[in-house]
Structure 1
C-alpha cells in the first residue's frame, strides 16, 4: 500500500504543473503540440500539468527542451 505523501509534495506538483502550463501558453503551444514534441503520452502530460502525477526526470528534460528553457527554470 502506497505511503501518503505530505501536503507540501502535492503543492509542489501543482506549482510545477502550473509552471509548465504557463511556459507552454507563453510559447503559444497547445498540449497536443507539446505531447508531439516530447513524445509523452497525452494523458500523462495532462496529469503532469494538473499536478496529479510525479513526472519522470526524462519527461521533465524533454518538456524543458521542447519549451527551450533550462531544466532549472522549469522546476524553480
Structure 2
C-alpha cells in the first residue's frame, strides 16, 4: 500500500501546482509587463502525468507479481 502512496505523490503535487497557479494569478507591472507564475503550469502537468505513469506502472507490476505467485 505504501508503494501506491509514493507513486501517487506526483499527482498530488501536480494538482497543487496547478491550483497555486490559479490562485496566485498574475498582475501587470508599472511598465506594462505581465508578471505571473507561468512556470507552475508545465511543472504541474509534468508531475501529474508522471504520477499517472508511475501509478500505472506500480499497479501493473503488482498485478503481474500476484499472477506469478498464484500459479
Tell whether the structures are fold-level matches, with TM greater than 0.5. Answer: no
Larger C-alpha radius of gyration, 1 or 2?
2
Compare the two structures and name the one with the higher helix fraction: 2
Compare the two structures and name the one with the higher strand fraction: 2
Higher relative contact order (CA 8 A, sep 6+): 2
Instruction: State the TM-score, normalizing by the size of structure 2.
Output: 0.38
